[in-house]
C-alpha cells in the first residue's frame, strides 16, 4: 500500500490515533475561525423551509446518522427519519415535498446508499451527502456535498471517518437550528466551543489505555456481550457492538438501556459482560438504575463515564473507564472513539486480522 502504518501495528491503530487531527480538520472546514460560526457551502435550497430530513446510510455511517438525528431533532427541532439504505428504498416512505435526503458514506460508492440517494431524488428530495471521497459517484449525484476530512481510511472497519461524519452532522444541526431560528447566538457559541474542545479531549483518551485493556480482557473471554446506552449514546452502543463483531468475531448486541428489561435482561449472567456508555447528564440516573438491574443478575459491568459520573458508577461497575469531561452535546463523539479503542484491544487479545476481517469489504458495491 502507498499509505504506510507509520510505525503502528495496524492501520486501525494508526487511524484511531488520527481522530483528533481528523475532527480538527473537519471542523476547520465548517467553522469560520474569525466569527466562530458554522458556515455551509452555498445551498441551492433554503435550510429554513425544509419540512423534514430523511437520513440514510449503511454500517457505521448509519450509526453516525442516528446520532445526527438526536442532534437535529433536539437542537434544530426538525423532524428526522432515519433508516438503513437497504430498507429505506423498499419501505416506500411518504416523502414531504422539498424535504432533504441526507446520505452519509465514507466511500461514496456503497451500492445500497447510492440506490437510496437515487430513490430520494426521484421522490423530489434535495440531496445532500456527507462523504469522505470528493470524486465519488455519490458526490457527482448530490446537490450538495459536505466533506469529511478524514483522509484515506484503510482498515475495513471505520473509525476516523465515523467521527468526521459526526463532526459534520453536529455542525449541520447547528446551521439548521440557526436557519430555523431555534438556536440563538449564545447557544451556537456554546456548541461550537464544545466542538472545538474535542480534538484535545480526544488526545487525552489515549492515556486511558490501561483501563480500556482491563475491560478488553474481560470481553475477550466472553461469547456474548451486551452494549447499552440511552439517548444519543444508544447509537454509540450500536457502534461499539458493531465494531466488536467486525474485528473480534465476538457476538455483541446493542440495546437502548431502558429497553433491556423487555428482553435482553433474560440473557444476563456472569458470562455476559455489559458495556455501557453513560456520561453524566439528564439520562445518567436512569441509565445507572438500568445497569444496577443487570448487576443484580450477576452481569459484569464495564462502564464508560466521565468524572462527574464516576462515583455513582464506581459502586456498581467492575471496570470503569473515566473519559474527560466534555459538553453533553459532543460526548457521543468522545465515547464513540472509546468503544472503538475497546474493540481494537479485544481484537489484539483474540489475535484476529484487525485490518482485514473475514467476509467484510471496505466498500460494498453490490446490493
Ligand atoms: C462496509 C464497511 C463499513 C462501512 C459500510 C458503509 O460494510 O465494512 O465499515 O461502515 O460499508 O460504507 P460507506 O463507505 O458507505 O461509509
- How far is ligand 1, taken at its centre, from the CA of residue 164, in Å? 14
d(CA 214, CA 223): 17
Residue nearest to atom 7 of ligand 1 (CA): 59
Residues 6+ apart with CB under 8 A from 86: 58, 112, 116, 367
pLDDT at 1: 52
What are the φ/ψ torsions at residue 176 (nearest 5 degrees)?
A: -70, -40
Q: From the CA of 361, give the closest atom in ligand 1.
A: 8
Q: Catalytic positions, please? A: 362
Cα angle 255, 261, 265; round to 5: 80
Q: Hey, is 358 helix, strand or coil?
A: coil
Q: What is the DSSP letter of 17?
A: H
pLDDT at 362: 86
Average pLDDT of the residues of the chain: 96
Q: From the CA of 161, give the closest atom in ligand 1.
A: 16
- How far is ligand 1, taken at its centre, from the CA of residue 166, in Å? 15
pLDDT tens-place string over residues 82-105: 999 999 989 989 999 999 999 999
Mean pLDDT in each 10-residue stretch from start to end of the chain (367 residues)? 85 96 98 96 95 97 98 98 95 94 97 97 97 97 97 92 98 98 97 98 98 98 97 98 96 96 90 97 95 94 98 97 98 98 97 89 84
Q: From the CA of 60, give the closest atom in ligand 1.
A: 10
Give the H or E element holding residue 187. Answer: helix 185-205
Task: Tell me the best of 62, 161, 362, 365 to mutate to test the pocket of ligand 1, counting ligand atoms within 8 Å of each CB and taking the most.
Answer: 362
* Residues 56/88, Cβ–Cβ less than 8 Å: yes
CA distances (Å), 264 to each of 149, 221, 224, 230, 268, in order? Answer: 38, 20, 11, 15, 7
Residues 6+ apart with CB under 8 A from 334: 198, 201, 202, 205, 323, 324, 326
Closest CA to 106 of 68, 62, 67: 62
* Residues 37/165, Cβ–Cβ less than 8 Å: no
The number of helix segments (H) and strand segments (E) in the chain equals: 13, 10
Largest CA distance in the chain: 56
Ligand 1: residues within 6 Å at CB?
A: 58-61, 105-107, 110, 113, 156-158, 360, 362-364
pLDDT tens-place string over residues 221-254: 999 999 999 999 999 999 999 999 999 999 999 9
pLDDT at 358: 87
Task: Tell me the best of 11, 12, 58, 117 to mutate to test the pocket of ligand 1, counting ligand atoms within 8 Å of each CB and taking the most.
Answer: 58
pLDDT at 84: 97
pLDDT at 278: 98
- How far is ligand 1, taken at its centre, from the CA of residue 310, in Å? 34
**Structure pTM?**
0.97
Task: Tell me the best of 55, 65, 110 to mutate to test the pocket of ligand 1, counting ligand atoms within 8 Å of each CB and taking the most.
Answer: 110
What's the ipTM?
A: 0.96
- How far is ligand 1, taken at its centre, from the CA of residue 283, in Å? 30
Q: Hey, is 103 helix, strand or coil?
A: strand
Count of other CB atoms within 10 angstroms of residue 141 = 16
- How far is ligand 1, taken at its centre, from the CA of residue 61, in Å? 7
- How far is ligand 1, taken at its centre, from the CA of residue 364, in Å? 7
Residue nearest to atom 5 of ligand 1 (CA): 59
Amino acid at each position: 500500500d502507498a499509505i504506510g502504518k507509520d510505525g503502528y501495528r495496524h492501520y486501525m491503530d494508526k487511524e484511531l490515533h488520527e481522530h483528533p487531527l481528523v475532527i480538527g480538520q473537519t471542523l476547520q472546514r465548517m467553522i469560520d475561525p474569525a466569527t466562530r460560526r458554522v458556515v455551509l457551502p452555498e445551498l441551492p435550497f433554503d435550510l429554513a423551509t425544509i419540512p423534514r430530513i430523511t437520513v440514510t446510510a449503511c454500517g457505521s455511517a448509519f450509526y453516525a446518522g442516528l446520532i445526527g438525528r438526536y442532534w437535529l431533532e433536539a437542537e434544530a427541532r426538525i423532524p428526522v427519519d432515519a433508516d438503513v439504505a437497504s430498507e429505506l428504498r423498499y419501505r416506500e416512505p411518504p416523502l414531504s415535498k422539498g424535504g432533504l435526503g441526507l446520505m452519509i458514506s465514507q466511500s461514496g460508492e456503497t451500492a445500497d446508499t447510492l440506490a437510496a440517494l437515487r430513490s430520494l431524488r426521484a421522490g423530489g428530495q434535495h440531496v445532500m451527502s456527507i462523504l469522505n471521497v470528493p470524486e465519488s459517484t455519490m458526490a457527482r449525484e448530490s446537490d450538495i456535498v459536505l466533506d469529511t476530512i478524514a483522509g484515506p481510511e484503510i482498515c475495513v472497519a471505520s473509525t476516523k471517518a465515523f467521527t468526521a461524519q459526526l463532526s459534520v452532522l453536529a455542525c449541520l444541526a447547528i446551521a439548521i437550528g440557526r436557519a430555523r431560528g431555534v438556536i440563538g447566538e449564545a447557544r451556537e457559541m456554546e456548541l461550537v466551543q464544545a466542538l472545538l474542545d474535542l480534538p484535545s479531549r480526544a488526545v487525552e483518551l489515549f492515556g486511558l489505555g490501561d483501563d480500556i485493556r482491563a475491560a478488553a480482557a474481560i470481553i475477550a473471554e466472553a461469547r456474548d456481550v451486551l452494549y447499552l446506552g440511552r439517548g444519543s449514546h444508544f447509537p454509540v452502543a450500536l457502534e461499539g457492538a458493531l465494531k466488536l463483531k467486525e474485528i473480534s468475531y465476538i457476538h455483541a448486541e446493542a440495546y437502548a438501556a431502558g429497553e433491556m428489561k423487555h428482553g435482553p435482561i433474560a440473557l444476563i449472567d456472569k458470562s455476559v459482560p455489559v458495556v455501557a456508555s453513560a456520561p453524566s447528564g439528564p439520562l445518567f440516573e436512569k441509565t445507572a438504575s438500568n445497569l444496577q438491574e443487570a448487576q443484580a443478575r450477576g452481569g459484569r459491568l464495564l462502564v464508560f463515564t466521565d468524572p462527574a459520573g464516576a462515583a455513582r458508577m464506581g459502586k456498581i461497575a467492575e471496570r470503569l473507564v473515566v473519559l474527560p469531561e466534555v459538553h453533553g452535546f459532543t460526548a457521543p463523539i468522545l465515547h464513540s472513539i472509546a468503544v472503538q479503542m475497546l474493540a481494537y484491544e479485544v481484537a489484539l487479545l483474540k489475535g484476529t486480522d484487525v485490518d482485514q476481517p473475514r467476509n467484510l469489504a471496505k466498500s460494498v458495491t453490490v446490493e
